[in-house]
Structure 1
Amino acid sequence: MFKKSIGQAHEKLVFNRRVRVLVEEIGAMLPAGAQMLDVGTGDGQIAKMIGERQDGTVVQGIDIMERETIHIPVTLFDGKTIPMEDNSVDIVTFVDVLHHTDDPQILISEASRVARKAVIIKDHLSENKLDHLTLRLMDWVGNAPHGVVLPYNYSPRRDWETWFANADLTIDKFQTKVPLYPAPLRWVFGRKLHFIARLTPGNGEK
């Protein structure tokens, strides 16, 4: 009952605004007419809305589990190897997915392999203990009511930059001003705990 109440309050205060902001910010980074692959897509609703921000975008997703309701074509995969050929899609996106993995490097490198133009990542930054504790609370409130496994695997910016470099990805844009929360929540849960990065693969097209 308590988790259900928390989930309802989160949806009312945070979730709908979060969706709107992510759709606007990530959608603006897509070129028109792109083929987009969303990794860890869930039901695909956010990916679909992101794709609709640019004319002619074709969106598909992959995930480790099948949802009862889906909004885009979704293929199951093992959580490590993206089941696509090299340079087979224009854009690969991850929206709050990689901190749920044991080793983000694996999927970041896979995304670099299959993306022709860009890899776009929304995730978290944790530079100290306070950041980590705040992110744990946010993750629990947002995901525990839905039964999502929470490894609380948050990383500092230097780790992300290392993973990008190892995957031969160049940073085009790295923004930490992501207005997901209204005041006063943003003073606690905003700060610089969130980022959106647009990255170009070594063989990619800007």
Structure 2
Amino acid sequence: MSSPIVNIQKGIIRKLLIHFHQKASHNRRTCILTQLLKQNIIDCFSTKDTNVHCLDVGCGDMIIAESINESLPNTIWQCIDIHPLPEGLENNAKWKKYKTFDGSYIPFADKSFDVITFCDVLHHAGENTPVLLTEAARTGKIVLIKDHFEYSYYSRLMLKMMDIVGNWAYGINIPERYFTKKRFSKLCEGAGLEIIDMNNHIQLYEHLPIVRTILSPKWQFIAVLKAVN
């Protein structure tokens, strides 16, 4: 999303939204999610385990993968997203772990990874969501999903507004609907993934007094899933 390889759309409104989002939310949100996802990895794998292979699907600027790796050096990361790598970045050491994919099929062999992460990605995937989840079950052992639950028209509207602020300026599609708990469970089951833990009370906006009163923490969740195949 906030990636140097995303084709940022032109226009003063889009540029203002990017500036506002970066300053008000992005850095703090990234820090909170990094800590939560890192703890999930620690809970699933011992810090003494070497070479815990991880894949971040829809990685954006790769900051979450890099931040987790800094504090968990036993993790080895690959990152994929739909955006092609611009000319000149292919020789940049940071982007050596990046690979472009088609948004559906994960371009790695079966059980290549111990951990696969999706951080606010699946609600943008639309009809590709079942394929992506099935691919995650095929290529990974543990799948960590950070995403949103909607409970009513109000929560859906507020989530859309959040997406407009965070993603519209980058040309990322805004979904018509978000996951319900029932639909998410069915999608996971159909993909061969078992939900083994769920945190659906994540406060990302404590530092924004007005925002935190209108956005419920229960709209944000992290699910820990295990491939059953």
Residue type at the aligned position of 2:212: R
- Which one of the candidate residues 36, 61, 80 is aligned to 1:25? 36
Q: Deviations over 1:23-50 (max 9, x none)?
A: 0000111133310001111231222112
Unaligned runs of 5+ in 2: 1-11
Q: Which residue of 1 aligns with 2:78?
A: 60
- Which one of the candidate residues 167, 171, 180 is aligned to 2:204? 180
Change (3 A) 1:133 1:67: farther
Q: Name the one with the larger helix percent.
A: 2
1:97 aligned onto 2:97: no
Residue type at the aligned position of 2:224: R
RMSD: 1.7
SS in 1 for 2:40: coil
State the distance in 2 between where 1:159 and 1:53 align.
34
Aligned length: 202
Q: Assess if the C-alpha contact under 8 Å between 1:36 and 1:51 holds in 2.
A: no
Unaligned runs of 5+ in 1: none
Deviation at 1:153, TM superposition (A): 4.0
1:3 aligned onto 2:18: no
SS in 2 for 1:29: helix
Q: Deviations over 1:136-185 (max 9, x none)?
A: 10000011222223234412111110011112212121101212112422
State the distance in 1 between where 2:14 and 2:112 align.
41
SS in 2 for 1:150: coil
Deviation at 1:67, TM superposition (A): 4.3
Q: Assess if the C-alpha contact under 8 Å between 1:176 and 1:196 holds in 2.
A: yes
Deviation at 1:57, TM superposition (A): 0.5
Q: Which residue of 2 aligns with 1:170?
A: 194
SS in 2 for 1:28: helix
Choose 177-186 or 74-83, whichever is displaced more.
177-186
Q: Assess if the C-alpha contact under 8 Å between 2:134 and 2:191 holds in 1.
A: yes
| TM-score normalised to structure 2 length | 0.82
Deviation at 1:135, TM superposition (A): 0.7
Q: Which residue of 2 aligns with 1:16?
A: 27
Deviation at 1:122, TM superposition (A): 0.3
SS in 2 for 1:111: helix
Q: Assess if the C-alpha contact under 8 Å between 2:145 and 2:223 holds in 1.
A: yes
State the distance in 2 between where 1:51 and 1:128 align.
37
State the distance in 2 between where 1:162 and 1:52 align.
35
Higher Cα radius of gyration: 2
State the distance in 2 between where 1:172 and 1:3 align.
39
Query: How do residues 1-206 of structure 1 correspond to structure 2 at under 5 angstroms?
Result: 1-30=12-41, 31=45, 32=47, 33=50, 34-68=52-86, 71-72=94-95, 73-103=97-127, 104-116=129-141, 118-182=142-206, 183-184=208-209, 185-203=211-229
Q: Assess if the C-alpha contact under 8 Å between 2:201 and 2:219 holds in 1.
A: no
Q: Assess if the C-alpha contact under 8 Å between 2:197 and 2:225 holds in 1.
A: yes
Show structure 1 runs of 4+ deviating over 3 A: 67-72
SS in 1 for 2:188: helix
Choose 71-80 or 94-103, whichever is displaced more.
71-80
| TM-score normalised to structure 1 length | 0.90
Choose 82-91 or 1-10, whichever is displaced more.
1-10
